[in-house]
Amino acid sequence: MPKVIVTEEQWIQLGAERFARGGPEALVIESMSSELKCSKSSFYWYFTNRSAFIRRIVDDWIEKSTQQVITASLEPIAAEEKLTELLCQMFAVTRKGDFLFYLRKLSAEESDYQEVLDQMERARMNVAQALFMQIGLPAEAAAHKAWFLYHYYLGWYERHKLHQLTEEDVLHHVTLLREHLIQL
């Protein structure tokens, strides 16, 4: 039987999917190697131990999820359109599991992850603040709106994370949010 070669990215992708479904407890290397149809030693080729694997999964998820939203908001268009695009990116993401929930739980147990979580959330709110400032709000008001928007999003995601939303649903929500909550 030929040897199956699994990439680091395949391990990380499967790890992120499992983490989103059950946190660190879902990252059982033996069952993951079975699912990837490779030997357990493949895991140790890329990661020194389970802790290093978890950190790599978290770092990769933060980079992808945060950078994706930030990149969309940097398109060379008017500030209000950038803000709308940011909102659409934020509120279109559902049915992706509970990665953030398990990251919060992990951060309560391991202080290193609290710092990572804090940095990610600051980066996300800083992007929103910059967009609010581009549309003419003073820095302090922009910071307050960014904080409010991000925390509103956290509650909204918790409520809708298990639902599949259509593009029309997202646009309707973004319109209501712009008009009534952030008053644009």
Mean predicted confidence (pLDDT) in 49-75: 84
Domain locations in the chain as residue ranges: 55-181
Residue 76: predicted pLDDT: 60
Q: Which class for 43: exposed (0-12), middle (13-18), buried (19 or more C-beta within 10 A)?
A: buried
Q: What is the pTM of this model?
A: 0.79
In 3-state terms the chain splits into helix, strand, coil percentages (rounded to 5) of 75, 0, 25
pLDDT higher at 79 or 75: 79
- The pLDDT-based confidence of 1 (bands split at 50, 70, 90) is very low
> Which tens digit of pLDDT belongs to each residue from 113-136?
999 999 989 988 998 899 889 888
